[in-house]
Structure 1
């Protein structure tokens, strides 16, 4: 049996086999198309063909692809990331900048299929948080205090600062999305063990939390 990384297995399932989703000229949905419909709607719809329209069996996807797709459909469509337990893992030495809790919830099914179709992992490196002066409606920096003339201000006058893009919340969101995707792939590889006919699913080759070891760009 051939060993295939779960990332490549998913690409094969949702890209290479997707061309066999229907039978041309019959208005008949094969097992792949019906499975996709079930993943989107969350329920089965009776779309049985007429007895005289069996279609072209060559249009059916590989049986292993159907098994992979069914296992993807068993993932959570409402995966919640526990902020208190995960913020240190997600932010590392940036955790002190997180001033409030975040509610992070993801659709694992949609996320796994989306990334399989694009052929890339979720983008986690959106840069480091930056601060900038708070800008008024006229485009000028806000100033707290009294201005008496050019470069003359009352004691204690200052420009309030605010987070620019990416914010600390944006960094956490991007990394959480990647972490949920990676966790889903790891579980999928385990669930597929012994279920496929010609393939052995290998755990993801992508790192679980690359931001903890990646060299951060200088700012």
Structure 2
């Protein structure tokens, strides 16, 4: 019996989608079939799936086209089709935004926390299932749906990890109070808003959770032993980066004297 290759899940996904393009070598793609979208999908999700799986315009004779696609599919190792099936079976996640902090939900975690997740008019919402006697019904909280399979495929195809920018302060904005002409203090101006970076971090953690689930589900394939993910769970630096601004010297204030705001 041939010895199995040990490979990290991230490297395996890159091999499947970047090297072999397994998502374009499925029977549906070979025969030129169009898989209909679910009617409940939002426009965003439809566009995302088109970006993930790609579209092509067939101008060649049908027989030659099918033969060419079948030849490409024959070159794909069988284990990679199992990987693709597992990726497509991944459940979607949901991001709940709260200013510059995000919470990531999946249906299993929500159920354990007694939180219901539902869709209404193309939008997703969450709300606690129970509340105290005499208390008003808690308000519905809006969620952002994240297609887990799309994130996994897009990053694997490009050979990258989800982007997470640094929290960088580029200037200080004066704060005025009342009729005073002199500022009472300064607040930081960020290159990229903390709210946007919080979403980036949440999407990265969705990607990392998906890799961990895949590694557990397909740990032993016919020719491969899958490990990982070796990628760090939280690769970002919690420190705030300060970019000096020449105007700070003229205003007799330096970024070094400002205390960065602590953020979760």
Measured against the shorter chain, the TM-score band is 0.5 to 0.7
Partner of 1:209: 234
Runs of at least 5 residues in structure 1 that lack an aligned partner in the other structure? 23-29, 44-49, 91-100, 134-140, 148-152
Question: Take 2:17 and 2:6, find their aligned partners in 1: how far apart are those partners?
Answer: 18
Structure-2 change in CA distance of 1:37 and 1:174 (3 Å)? farther
What is the aligned counterpart of 1:55 among 60, 67, 73? 67
Runs of at least 5 residues in structure 2 that lack an aligned partner in the other structure? 40-61, 105-140, 243-264
1:3 aligns with 2:20: no
- Would you say the 8 A contact 2:95–2:145 is kept in 1? yes
Any residues of structure 2 matched to 1:90-129 within 5 Å, and which? 103-128=143-168
1:70 aligns with 2:85: yes
| Length, aligned pairs only | 176
Question: Take 1:112 and 1:190, find their aligned partners in 2: how far apart are those partners?
Answer: 15
1:183 Cα offset (Å): 0.3
Aligned partner of residue 67 in structure 2, secondary structure? coil
TM-score by length of 1: 0.61
Structure-2 change in CA distance of 1:15 and 1:130 (3 Å)? same
1:81 Cα offset (Å): 3.6
1:88 Cα offset (Å): 8.9
Any residues of structure 2 matched to 1:82-97 within 5 Å, and which? 87=101
What is the aligned counterpart of 1:33 among 25, 29, 32? 29
1:126 Cα offset (Å): 2.6
Structure-2 change in CA distance of 1:121 and 1:180 (3 Å)? same
Structure-2 change in CA distance of 1:80 and 1:123 (3 Å)? same
Q: Deviations over 1:160-219 (max 9, x none)?
A: 85753322212211111111100000001111123x2111111211011223xx474642
Aligned partner of residue 80 in structure 1, secondary structure? strand
TM-score by length of 2: 0.52
More strand by share: 2
Question: Take 2:5 and 2:154, find their aligned partners in 1: how far apart are those partners?
Answer: 25
